[in-house]
Amino acid sequence: MGQNHANANVISTQMGIPAGTQLEGKIIKALSGFYYVKTIEGTYMCRARGIFKKKGNAPLVGDDVTIVVNPTTDSDEMEGRIEVMHERRNSFIRPPVANIDNFLIVLAAKDPDPSLEILDRFLVMSEAAGVIPIIIINKMDLVDNDKIEQTIRHIYEKYYDVHFLSTLNDDMGDLDVLLSDMQGHVLAFAGPSGAGKTSLITKVLNLEQPDETYQSDETQFDGGRYLQESSDTTDQRIYSGESLKTSDVSGKTGRGRHTTRHTEIHVTPKGALVMDTPGFTSFEIIDILSEEIAEYFPDFPQGKCRFKNCKHLDEPDCAIKEALQDGKIAESRYHSYLAMMRDAIQKEENQY
């Protein structure tokens, strides 16, 4: 009796939709060369047509696609093939995601120490892509004065939505409210490795805790959420880590020892799509023309310099440097601007 029941289940998941049927869906996970595509008929494990990769246009989590249902196999998975990738609203390499409405940029108040330069680079990348960034400072339990909160509020609050949290708190109030207002939005959590992205998502979505015994280095599919990525869409130099559990941050590298290595979408009860992404450890995350960078600093006075093509470095009557001297721009912001300009100018010089 129990045996029959089990068989009936397997058959019903594999039958249903005839092979060759086209379905529209969204890629919710990329793992080991497979794309998990959520459709109204369920989630299909798909390969992509080789042509996408040949064109240097591999599918990303967040892509809207048309799949064709494969003939039934022995596997428990419903399988299909990605036939068409639909046009993207936006896409990013680090983290590797597409069609984002908001970046939730997560930094830790401590362990690892927050880097305002990473934050600024990320804000600029978001602004340049037309994606609204939201700043989250996590691990507030690790700091016992409010210096970080004051500093961050002072610099950013006027221009960005800023939240201070700890996953150790029972009450995730701020984030709960934020997510419940985001029905239908696609939100990508992004930020340095070890900041607590996976912990926050796990907590706020009431997901099962990652399997503590899962240690293997091999990529497996166990039907669960916490799996290894063999790195189809990740850059090993940027994303590093061993497994999908969360874990302590290593003192030496400041990285989590068990970091997320694949991107995956979770759906909140109210219908927001939340993406967990691998943390990054590199500074080099954007590719924007040097002359445009200052436009993406909303706190910098725009169009007020004497020279129209002012780079805000050493030019006379530069409104941005004046604002800096008057304390109207935070020194860390101008410092980030200089660092980004240096990178961009160097890249531009190398092109000739």
- Residue 272 C-beta: closest distance to Mg ion, Å: 18
Sequence-distant (≥ 6) Cβ neighbours of residue 309 within 8 angstroms: 291
Of 258 and 333, the one with the shorter C-beta distance to ligand GTP is 258
Q: Going by DSSP bridges, is the β-strand pair 42-48/64-69 parallel, antiparallel, or unpaired?
A: unpaired
Q: Report helix, strand and coil shares of the chain as percent, to nearest 5.
A: 25, 20, 50
Running DSSP on this structure, what letter comes out for residue 270? T
* Partner from Mg ion, Zn ion, ligand GTP, none binding residue 248, C-beta < 5-8 Å depending on class: ligand GTP
* Partner from ligand GTP, Mg ion, Zn ion, none binding residue 305, C-beta < 5-8 Å depending on class: Zn ion
Of 187 and 310, the one with the shorter C-beta distance to Zn ion is 310
Q: Interface with ligand GTP by CB under 6 A: which residues?
A: 138-139, 141-142, 166-168, 193-199, 241, 246-249, 256, 259-260, 278-279
Task: Tally helices (H) and strands (E) across the chain.
Answer: 8, 13
Contact 241, 258 (CB under 8 A): yes
Residues 231-260 that bind Mg ion (CB under 5 A): 260
Of 133 and 196, the one with the shorter C-beta distance to ligand GTP is 196
Of 80 and 194, the one with the shorter C-beta distance to ligand GTP is 194
- Residue 254 C-beta: closest distance to Mg ion, Å: 14
Of 5 and 308, the one with the shorter C-beta distance to Zn ion is 308
Q: Counting beta carbons within 10 angstroms of the beta carbon of residue 246, is it exposed (0 to 12), middle (13 to 18) or buried (19 or more)?
A: buried
Using the rule CB under 5 A, which residue among 104, 195, 201, 318 binds Zn ion? 318
| Distance between CA atoms of residues 136 and 163, nearest Å | 5
Using DSSP's 3-state secondary structure scheme, residue 319 falls into helix
- Residue 291 C-beta: closest distance to Zn ion, Å: 11
Which residues, in sequence order, are bridge partners of residue 35? 30, 46
Of 94 and 312, the one with the shorter C-beta distance to Zn ion is 312
Using the rule CB under 5 A, which residue among 102, 138, 167, 198 binds Mg ion? 198
Query: What single letter denotes the amino acid at residue 114?
Result: P
List the beta strands (DSSP E) in the chain: 22-31, 34-39, 42-48, 64-69, 78-85, 91-92, 97-98, 102-108, 132-138, 161-164, 186-190, 264-267, 273-276
111: left (phi over 0), alpha (psi -120 to 50) or beta: left
* Partner from Zn ion, ligand GTP, Mg ion, none binding residue 240, C-beta < 5-8 Å depending on class: none
Half-sphere exposure of 302 (CA within 13 A, CB side): 9
220: left (phi over 0), alpha (psi -120 to 50) or beta: beta
- Residue 290 C-beta: closest distance to Zn ion, Å: 13
- Residue 259 C-beta: closest distance to Mg ion, Å: 6
Of 48 and 106, the one with the shorter C-beta distance to ligand GTP is 106
Using the rule CB under 5 A, which residue among 67, 320, 329, 344 binds Zn ion? 320
Number of residues that bind Mg ion (CB under 5 A): 3
Of 39 and 259, the one with the shorter C-beta distance to ligand GTP is 259
Residues 274-313 that bind Zn ion (CB under 5 A): 305, 310, 312
Q: Is the peptide bond before 96 cis (omega within 30 degrees of 0)?
A: no
- Residue 270 C-beta: closest distance to ligand GTP, Å: 22
Interacting residues with Zn ion (CB under 5 A)? 305, 310, 312, 318, 320
Interacting residues with Mg ion (CB under 5 A)? 197-198, 260
